A = this chain, B = another copy of it.
Amino acid sequence: MEDLTEMLKGTLEGCVLEVIGGEETYGYAITRRLNELGFVDVIEGTVYTILLRLERNGLVEVTKRPSEVGPPRKFYSLNKAGREELARFWAKWQYISARINKLKEEAA
């Protein structure tokens, strides 16, 4: 699938929130997880900028822990604000996707 980046704007951050909400995890693993899920072109740099933004906006708790196979990892988990933001994200997603799908079906 060619160039999905514009369409991911505004949703990729929510996806990262969702992954973190599932379990405490870190940037490199989040990137791999998103790739597995079909977001194949999402690259580390993108995820790290999102994580720094989440941290700056106070949506996550951060803990640095050593790794046995490389440099230390920064583990992220959602705090209250993060969980609320995640809920808002899914509400928005449901709203918008419903409307877009309706537009699509009315055309057909």
A interface residues (Cβ-Cβ under 8 A, vs B): 1-2, 4-11, 15, 18-19, 21-22, 37-39, 88, 90-93, 95-104, 106-107
Docked-complex contact B96 and A8, CB < 8 angstroms: yes
Docked-complex contact B96 and A4, CB < 8 angstroms: yes
Docked-complex contact A92 and B1, CB < 8 angstroms: yes
**How many Å lie between the Cα of A15 and that of B101 in the bound state?**
10
Docked-complex contact B9 and A6, CB < 8 angstroms: yes
**How many Å lie between the Cα of A45 and that of B18 in the bound state?**
33
For A37, what are the chain B residues with a Cβ–Cβ distance below 8 Å? Answer: 99, 102-103
For A107, what are the chain B residues with a Cβ–Cβ distance below 8 Å? Answer: 18, 21-22
> Which 9 pairs, one residue from A and one from B, show the smallest C-beta to C-beta distance?
A6-B10, A7-B10, A9-B9, A38-B99, A1-B95, A9-B10, A7-B92, A7-B96, A97-B97
